[in-house]
Amino acid sequence: MTDLDHTHDPALRSWVASANAADTDFPIQNLPLGMARAAGSTGAFRPVTAIGDQVLDLIAAAELGALSDALGAVLRTCEGHGLNPLMAIGPGLRRQLRHELVAALQDDAGPKQAAQLAPALKPMSEVEMTLPCRIGDYTDFYAGIHHATAVGKLFRPDNPLLPNYKWVPIGYHGRVSSIGVSGQIFRRPLGQTKAPEAEAPGFGPVKRLDYELEVGALVATGNEPGRPVPIDEAEQHLFGLVLLNDWSARDLQAWEYQPLGPFLAKSFATTISPWVITMEALAPFRRAFTRPDGDPRPLPYLDGAANRERGAIGIRLEVHLQTRAMRDAGQAPAKLMASDFADAYWTIAQMLTHHASNGCNLQPGDLFGSGTMSGPAADQGGSLLELTQGGKQAITLPGGEQRTFLQDGDSVALVGRCEAPGRRAIGFGPCVGTVMPAVA
């Protein structure tokens, strides 16, 4: 796991003034990575970092002498292709990039460095973001025990958690082609559903459309086929985290999921945030990984000293909803809930280790979803399915509108922010998706 160093110093400040604002997601202690180009451009997307309300073009920064030749060479291979080359090269060069960026952007660098890098900076409002990398495979886990328990109670009140849940990280393989970046607009899916009282299923627009509040993990270096990844080495194979909304059609899912699990109910859209918060930036927010008294200890292949001591990551997660009427009236989105990623029943290291334990070869850019991250209280559900008790209790929004499930025109925003005593808070930036009417 990444250790703390001078780049995490909460006293660090940047000559980019907006990076020093208390409420920014992107102070100099963060330095997330993504792919961007000038808004309205048809040029290739290039690797960038965020600093305050500015975006720094990393290839341009290297050409201007702010980054080493070795980094510049790797970054140039990312242009038009995504961050996969940087992911594949391992954590050493990624840490070097962080160190060189801090040296170039801290206020001690002075006006000379600011003038040197000015051509490489652009306001965030003037760039267009895309997916941070080529995602080869997507696996959705089920590590949110509060979500699993709450949903289990809806369908199996006497036995909400199945026997394997506390022993094995449950997951399924998702679909990559419909993963989009924040700002994604998608059509309400069509599907085959069956009402409980109906004699036969029907086909049409789904009625119980939902969101799922998740955290996504991106793989850095992979492993060879047939070679598992030991738990103590797992985080060396992780690049960073994003926010992830795995949209779900609950009525379609209820009809199709037995016996093989989710299919069309999950494959129509998944939205991720464009900025990858690196494992290095997350180091100050690590926590001990613990289990409730009486729960089984993970099997040896999923258990390691480092994972027990610092395997969990504290991220405050929120869901905000803005209806079309709210947007038209200029009303801000309404916060629906908040939870903490540190409550996950399995760590991302355990997810990666388990995924590779059968010899499955992971590759740079592979994406893991954490599963829905709910809190323990009834008002902390990470989906409408939980917050409305399966659609039985409508949520009333500030303007008087009600929701049991999503309606056309609704926009959902996920928010993630890391805070810890004595540390500079960092955030994830936007993860927003909007539902449009089904194809006529």
Element (H, E) at 74: helix 69-78
Residue 191 in contact with residue 203, Cβ under 8 Å?
yes
To the query of whether residue 237 is one of the catalytic residues in this protein, the response is no
Pairing mode of beta strands 367-369, 138-141 = parallel
What is the identity of the amino acid at 387?
L
Residue 319 in contact with residue 387, Cβ under 8 Å?
no
**How far are the Cα atoms of 13, 77, 143, 205, 270 from residue 190, in angstroms, in the given order?**
50, 40, 28, 4, 16
Beta strands in 21-130 (DSSP E): 33-38, 46-51, 54-57, 121-123, 127-130
Q: 400: alpha, beta or left, given left = phi > 0 and alpha = psi -120 to 50?
A: left
C-alpha span between 179 and 185 (Å, rounded): 11
Residue 304 in contact with residue 231, Cβ under 8 Å?
yes
Residue 288 in contact with residue 308, Cβ under 8 Å?
yes
**Both tokens assigned to 199:** 């004699």
Residue 36 in contact with residue 182, Cβ under 8 Å?
no
Beta-carbon count within 10 A of 218 CB = 25
C-alpha span between 222 and 95 (Å, rounded): 18
Cis status, amide bond into 259, omega within 30 of 0 = yes
Among residues 6, 8, 146, 147, the one annotated as catalytic is 147
| Residues annotated as part of the active site | 147
